[in-house]
Amino acid sequence: MIEVKRFDMDLKPRKERFYLTPLAWLLSLPAVWLRQLRVNKVNMKGLKPPYVLLCTHHAFIDFKVTTAAIFPRRANYIVAIDGYIGREKLLRNVGSICKRKFTNDIKLVRHIRYALETLKNIVAIYPEARYSLIGTTAILPESLSKLVKTMGRPVVMLNMHGNHLTQPVWNLKPRRVPLRADMTQIITKEEITTLGLDEIKKRIDDAFVYDEYAWLKQQGFKLRFKKRAEGLENVLYRCPACGVEHQMTAKDNRLSCAACGKTWLKQTDATLSAVTGETEFAHIPDWYEYERAMVRKDIEDGTYRFEDDVRVESLPNSDGYIPLGIMRLTHDINGFRLEGTLEGKPFLLEKPPLSMYGLHIEYDYFGKGDCLDLSTLDDTYYLYPVNHRQVVTKLHFATEEIYKIIHAEMKQKK
């Protein structure tokens, strides 16, 4: 592994090659037109690049919606390293900027500045850093307001709707849902120089608020997809009726607990209703936040801890994953600890709580099982729990809540 070539993070971004622009439009515009995309632009009159474009992140179709929203202009996109596998040359030629998720990377800041100041381009950033798990706003990095302040350029928000419902990360089979987007200049060039970080943060946080399930019901759209509940058991892993975790199952539009037998139906308006007894959470994100609260309680009570063997794969570059064998992963109030043997030598990777404000997880990733990943600046390790099922969502909650607790404690000490 020492000799493996690492992804070159030093290469500067470039403007999209002119011959690729028609291809990008061809791949993007028909797909969003078929879903009746409408973009509502607010305070955008007269605005020209360069500017920072902050985008919500729901599904792969986000990039196609963004292409339509900024048409006919193009942008430099921040893209996670796994997006480069087998197509690094193409992604570099369309102007993308590589990022390893949930790492503090000063090179990324320099590349964003170069794209804005030298290339005079739009820079599209998806700061939630992963697809939304349940169609609501994910945690945002504390550094985001400082980043846009430092860049000194206008800030535009693209809040997309329908994307998560079209292809949720827990069930990637596409379904037809109309798409909408609100594109708003939330900070002008004049304001970015005078506003304080607190006000910038407030404007960004306010602009990022969304709830796909409330939006669907408000719009009166229907989910006709027969298997609309399948995969949801990975996100709603704790039964609110009996409290047992990791025993949820789903088939077609039915979500059930194998421990107590209670069943809920996912209706065409995406609400839940219990077949018998009380409907604890009709609104799906409320169930999700109930789980978060239970994880938070475990952490505060000092009872939270995860430990399991994990299959480890490395992604040092865009050539693909390298199997590293079985290692031991633990997670508690002190953060993540991955330890084992690599090429006959002891291996240890520690990620303290304040090094990760969030966690990237995948469900049945390429058919290999649920996984989480931990990154350094020159490698990303994909970890597949061996003995536990339906655990990665809980790990994601725990990562965020531990970060919040430790971060709050640090602020109080200052």
Domain-ending residue, one of 260, 278, 301: 301
pLDDT at 1 over 80: no
**Helix axis angle, 197-207 relative to 144-151, nearest 10°?**
110
Return d(Cα 317, Cα 410) in angstroms, integer.
35
Residue 340 sits in the same domain as residue 396: yes
Residue 163 sits in the same domain as residue 292: no
Residue of 7, 1, 167 lying closest to 79 (CA atoms): 7
- Residue 116 domain-assigned? yes
Residue 249 sits in the same domain as residue 204: no
- Residue 10 domain-assigned? no
Q: For residue range 47-104, what is the model confidence (pLDDT) as tens digits?
A: 999 999 999 999 999 999 999 999 999 999 999 999 999 999 999 999 999 999 998 8
- Give the CATH number for residue 360: 2.30.29.30
Q: What is the mean pLDDT of residues 110-134?
A: 96
Residue 277 sits in the same domain as residue 395: no
Residue 142 sits in the same domain as residue 204: yes
Q: What is the mean pLDDT of residues 95-124?
A: 95
Biggest CA-to-CA distance, the chain: 62
Residue 283 sits in the same domain as residue 193: no
| Torsion sign (Cα): 182, 183, 189, 193 | positive
Q: Yes or no: say if 256 and 362 are a contact pair by the CB < 8 Å rule.
A: no
- Residue 281 domain-assigned? yes
Domain that holds residue 215: 18-219
Give the pLDDT band of residue 105 (cuts 50, 70, 90). confident
- Residue 224 domain-assigned? no
Give the pLDDT band of residue 353 (cuts 50, 70, 90). very high
Residue of 58, 102, 79, 82 lying closest to 358 (CA atoms): 102
Residue 149 sits in the same domain as residue 276: no
**Res 183: pLDDT:** 98
**Res 411: pLDDT:** 84
Domain-ending residue, one of 178, 197, 219: 219
Domain-ending residue, one of 251, 283, 301: 301
Residue 208 sits in the same domain as residue 236: no
Encoded tokens for 29: 């515009």
Between β-strands 122-125 and 75-80, what pairing exists: parallel, antiparallel or unpaired?
parallel
Residue 111 sits in the same domain as residue 147: yes
Give the pLDDT band of residue 4 (cuts 50, 70, 90). confident
**Res 307: pLDDT:** 98
Residue of 316, 317, 308 lying closest to 372 (CA atoms): 308
Residue 82 sits in the same domain as residue 179: yes
Residue 34 sits in the same domain as residue 89: yes
Number of domain units in the chain? 3
Residue 64 sits in the same domain as residue 183: yes
Q: What is the pTM of this model?
A: 0.95
Return d(Cα 403, Cα 299) in angstroms, integer.
11
- Residue 4 domain-assigned? no
> In Å, how far are 35, 36, 224, 226 from 176, measured between CA atoms?
7, 10, 8, 12
- Residue 110 domain-assigned? yes
Give the pLDDT band of residue 116 (cuts 50, 70, 90). very high
Q: What is the mean pLDDT of residues 95-114?
A: 94
Which residues lie closer than 8 Å to 30 by C-beta, 6 or more apart?
none
Mean pLDDT in the chain? 95
- Residue 123 domain-assigned? yes
Q: What is the mean pLDDT of residues 165-170?
A: 95
Q: For residue range 280-302, what is the model confidence (pLDDT) as tens digits?
A: 999 999 999 999 999 999 999 99
- Residue 3 domain-assigned? no
